[in-house]
Amino acid sequence: MTKINDVTAAVEAGKTKLIAGLVQEALNEGVTANEILQAMIGAMNVVGGKFSSGEIFVPEMLMAAKSMQKGVEVLKPLLAGAGAVSLGKCIIGTVVGDLHDIGKNLVLMMIESAGFEVIDLGVDVPIETFIDAIKTNPDVKLVACSALLTTTMPAMKETVEAIRASGLKGFKIIVGGAPITEAFAKEIGADGYAMDAGSAGVKAKELIQISATI
Amino acid sequence: MTTEKENYLKVLRGEQPEWVPNYLDAIALCMPVVYENKVIPGSGNPNKKFKDIFGIEHEDREKYTDMLGIEWTQTIDGQIPTPGKHLITDITKWREQVNYPFPDLDKIDFKTQAEGYYSVVDHNQKAVVCLVFGRYEMLMDLMGVDNALCALIEEPEAVHDFFTEFTNFQEKTLRVSFPYYKPDVVLIPDDVATVKDLFMSPEIYTKMVAPYVRQIAKAAVELGAIAEMHCCGKCEKLIPQWIDMGITVWQPAQAVNDLKAIKEKYGHKIVLNGGWDTNGPGAMTGAPEEVVRQSVRDAIDKLAPGGGYVFWDTGMTGGDFEKFGWTADEARKYGKEFYKKHSQESI
């Protein structure tokens, strides 16, 4: 299992140029694609924790995620054949009136690295687009809404309320963004709040696990 | 009678002001034009118009391209690069992917430009603040935040190459336009922080960004201006570096930083411009007038004692001009009397 340790270390260190070779070596050693994937997801958990604690910064987190993406590219053909399952679909977007994609993109990356299949609706997303996307993807497990401005917080509230009012069920709603607080998330009826991209992946998985036990 | 300009410049020079300056009453922004922005015809909403910080009217969601070729989208809260459109896909090929070479500064008539500017701005009444481009900001605008941050680690030599060329161009722009505009302050923007921390480690900032900020700050001071840093977010750990560069003012000094501790630690080595809590109750959409006014008084009460402070609401009002009116009015009323009522707390 030495090669899988190398893969884990390479993801954590953001070794984008080495990862593909290391993943192939691990496969050659007999490690299954799913085991390698789980190891990389574990590595990204560590990276997210380090980011949230201030031990590393955004570039290091980005490089780790890029490494994982490159590793997953090697695994993809094998994972499809092995029937590997993702944690589920996540629909993400920045709420209407807000064009900022910085936080949304970082969160997207971390949620994807946590094992979700992410559908990115982009920025300035009208409420109806969120609802249509949920209808189009009835197996969605998570809806993530981002807002960077205090002036678009009301749009986030309206989005969450409209999704609830639509009667669509079977998923959790997570919110975040610079002016968003846990108290605001609760107030508007969101299921979860992530204070930063590092904790978003962990929170997303936590919500899904809670969801699965209900 | 002391003007708003004189009172503001007293603060910047570490002298005793007569009142707490309200930034927007004291200054006029200038930006020597080196390349015309080109509005993309048909973009924007003609039914929804607003004015930017220079007083120029735009349509909401109007798009234009700048001197480098970046496409921008105007919004009520300011302009941002059109999401998802990145001019540079490979920083090692930046010369091929942006409009380069940069404009020939020797062919630009800054004298006529400045005369036009001063036909509407009274330099006796307003301190003139000259805005230059940010280096890291520009990299973000060209590549997107994630690609720019990765480039700092993956392609440091190419990033240095771009920063060197771009900063040299900026310095020359400042030097050739300075004799005509004669700004009091040179404002150096570089938003390298989030609401929680810096985007990049302080070590990467020191190695990759700081040398170029220093170059512009040095030129500003040599020319006789005051060097001011603009950096939103929680960036207080960079203050020692800025002071060392000759920067003596920091805006928008947001409340996510421990501003009181910063004042105690650095004293008049760094003037705080801002201080209004942009995520506080007064900043929320629909905040009642008294809550907004109290938020202004809170900022002044917290940061004005001892001087070295300029009030600014940072314009984060989302086009809510009524709120702009409340913050400005309260800053004038409360700020004007502050040092008279708290004479023992003046410098």
Q: What are A168-177's pLDDT values in tens digits? A: 999 999 999 9
Within 8 A by CB and 6+ apart from B27, the residues are B5, B8, B126, B127, B128, B129, B185
Nearest-10 Cα torsion for B243, B246, B252, B256: -10
Within 8 A by CB and 6+ apart from B66, the residues are B35, B37, B72
**Measured between CA atoms, how close is B170 to chain A, in angstroms?**
26
Lowest mean pLDDT among A66-70, A150-154, A207-211, B308-312: A207-211
Nearest-CA neighbor of A98 among A71, A125, A63, A68? A125
The rounded distance, in Å, linking the Cα atoms of B166 and B107 is 18
Percentage of chain A modeled with pLDDT above 70 = 94
A67 contacts B150 by C-beta, under 8 angstroms: no
Tens digits of per-residue pLDDT, B194-207? 988 999 999 999 99
B162 contacts B94 by C-beta, under 8 angstroms: yes
Q: Which of A56, A105, A150 sits opposite B316 (nearest CB)?
A: A150
Torsional class of B134: left (φ above 0), alpha (ψ -120 to 50), beta (otherwise): beta
- For residue A126, what pLDDT band results from cuts at 50, 70 and 90? very high
CB–CB contact A54 B197 (8 Å): yes
B321: number of Cβ within 10 Å: 11
Which residue reads 């913050």 in tokens? B327
The pTM (predicted TM-score) of the whole model is 0.89
Q: Which chain B residue's Cα is nearest to A64? A: B150
Within 8 A by CB and 6+ apart from B162, the residues are B91, B94, B139
Query: Residue B239: beta bridge partners?
Result: none
Torsion B305-B309-B314-B317 (CA) sign: positive
Q: Which residues of chain B lie closer than 8 angstroms to A105, CB-CB? A: 144-146
Tens digits of per-residue pLDDT, B105-146? 999 999 999 999 999 999 999 999 999 989 999 999 999 988
**Measured between CA atoms, how close is B122 to chain A, in angstroms?**
34
CB–CB contact B199 A60 (8 Å): no
Lowest mean pLDDT among B33-47, B60-74, B257-271: B33-47
User: Residue A23: pLDDT above 80?
Assistant: yes
Structure tokens at B8: 């503001």
CB–CB contact B77 A149 (8 Å): yes
State the complex-level ipTM. Answer: 0.86
Q: Which of B73, B150, B284 sits opposite A62 (nearest CB)?
A: B150
Structure tokens at B184: 């009091």
The rounded distance, in Å, linking the Cα atoms of B309 and A54 is 30
Our measurement of the distance from residue A114's CA atom to the centroid of its chain's CA atoms, rounded to an integer in Å, reads: 6
- For residue B347, what pLDDT band results from cuts at 50, 70 and 90? very low
**Measured between CA atoms, how close is B157 to chain A, in angstroms?**
16
User: In the predicted model, what is the mean pLDDT of residues A185-206?
Assistant: 92
Q: Which residues of chain B lie closer than 8 angstroms to A153, CB-CB? A: 284-285
Nearest-CA neighbor of A114 among A174, A31, A59? A174
Q: Which residues of chain B lie closer than 8 angstroms to A69, CB-CB? A: none
Tens digits of per-residue pLDDT, B290-345? 999 999 999 999 999 999 999 999 876 566 778 889 999 999 999 999 999 887 55
Question: What integer pLDDT is reported at residue A212 of this predicted model?
Answer: 60
Identity of residue B327: T
Cis amide linkage into residue B252, ω under 30° from 0:
yes
User: Residue A83: pLDDT above 80?
Assistant: no
**Measured between CA atoms, how close is B89 to chain A, in angstroms?**
15
- For residue B19, what pLDDT band results from cuts at 50, 70 and 90? very high
User: In the predicted model, what is the mean pLDDT of residues B153-173?
Assistant: 96
A107 contacts A144 by C-beta, under 8 angstroms: yes
B143 contacts B91 by C-beta, under 8 angstroms: yes
Helix (H, G, I), strand (E, B) or coil at A35: helix
Average pLDDT over chain B, rounded to an integer: 93
CB–CB contact A66 B150 (8 Å): yes
